Structure 1
């Protein structure tokens, strides 16, 4: 892969200002096009056996529930060059946001997500205050030529309400960031194969080793 250009300082300024102002940010593009295309090629080359059914809860509370979510996931790992390129970009992202917002972001975990036709993820939270060290969620979409009628939109709700404040079409290269503990969100039923990378910046937990 060719050396990648970093997102500009002005892009990081915009993200930080928007997060500080309203808690979430939706960008039509953030990462270099070469990386987006490499990630798309990577996920398209994965076999069905490379993905696992996604569940809800973590560790002892983990369970499969088809009424809540029907997506499949695969964690990114640094031993793959394309995965590592993305994780390196997110490391730069972490440092840039920490410089601007002093959030104390410590590390990052991310997985590819595949929503087959008919798959969805009901309204949920990525973290609950005082119960998780996930503090900032990111989503990168890897779906060329996505149409509104293909479904699969991300709905972001106002905190503690049923009011949708943002509807995001999963267009190729779109990048979403939001505070994990603040915003309920949902993925509506997809009508075609839908791919993304969901990730979480975490605070340091001395009792929990980084996943990646």
Structure 2
């Protein structure tokens, strides 16, 4: 894990984003997927919205996924195990990138067939504390015909953007700077599962 974390930190420092396949052991990924499915079947997911605090709104024309937030103070054993890996990664990023990361927040995200999330930034006025976005995909199988790609708009030195489509292959981790890389989730044609989280420069 140490070598993987250092490699991610180096790529984040050099270009602002990184993609790592097989970030988790396969058995662990399956256990997290099973836990997510159990939480979903017990009705604990809610429609995601946009905005924060008093500006929060459910706007399915902008995003149509469902989420279940993880409570740092009441993590399950599986969630704690994943959280500890992210903490190790956070330490490596701090050592290389000097971002002052102090905490992490995350939720399970589920995109049902036909859902999407239009272009946006993860860091804005109400959530300026989000510094590094971390997305771990949990699906068993995925093909390009299933849709649901994370489309990243990568800023170039000449002021243009390069478009990169990342499909939600199980075990794949995507890391990027929250305030610098616009992105969207293209329409998915089957259920799309992830743990989406943010490393923050504030305490819990």
What TM-score comes out, normalization by structure 1 length?
Answer: 0.87
- Cα drift, residue 45 of structure 1: 1.5
Q: CA RMSD in A?
A: 1.9
Q: Deviations over 1:147-186 (max 9, x none)?
A: 1100100000024978443210100000000000000000
Comparing 91-100 with 118-127, which one deviates more in the overlay? 91-100
Comparing 173-182 with 9-18, which one deviates more in the overlay? 9-18
- Distance, in Å, in 1 between the alignment partners of 2:167 and 2:38 is 23
Q: Could you tell me which residue of structure 2 aligns to residue 85 of structure 1?
A: 81
Change beyond 3 A, Cα 1:113–1:162: farther
Structure 2 residue aligned with 1:66, among 40, 52, 60? 60
Structure 2 residue aligned with 1:185, among 183, 186, 197? 183
Q: Could you tell me which residue of structure 2 aligns to residue 53 of structure 1?
A: 47
Q: Deviations over 1:109-136 (max 9, x none)?
A: 0000000000100001100379611000
- Distance, in Å, in 2 between the alignment partners of 1:94 and 1:40 is 23
CA contact (8 A) 1:35 1:85 kept: no
- Distance, in Å, in 2 between the alignment partners of 1:93 and 1:13 is 8
Q: Could you tell me which residue of structure 1 aligns to residue 91 of structure 2?
A: 95
Structure 1 unmatched runs, 5+? 1-6
Aligned residues: 199
1:165-204 map, 5 Å:
165-204=163-202
1:1-212 map, 5 Å:
7=1, 9-46=2-39, 47=41, 49-77=43-71, 78-128=74-124, 132-159=128-155, 163-204=161-202, 210=204
CA contact (8 A) 1:36 1:173 kept: yes
Moved over 3 A (4+): 159-164
CA contact (8 A) 1:136 1:177 kept: yes
- Distance, in Å, in 2 between the alignment partners of 1:151 and 1:129 is 31
Structure 2 unmatched runs, 5+? none
- Distance, in Å, in 1 between the alignment partners of 2:9 and 2:163 is 19
Q: Deviations over 1:8-43 (max 9, x none)?
A: x32122211211111000111222333212111111
CA contact (8 A) 2:155 2:162 kept: no
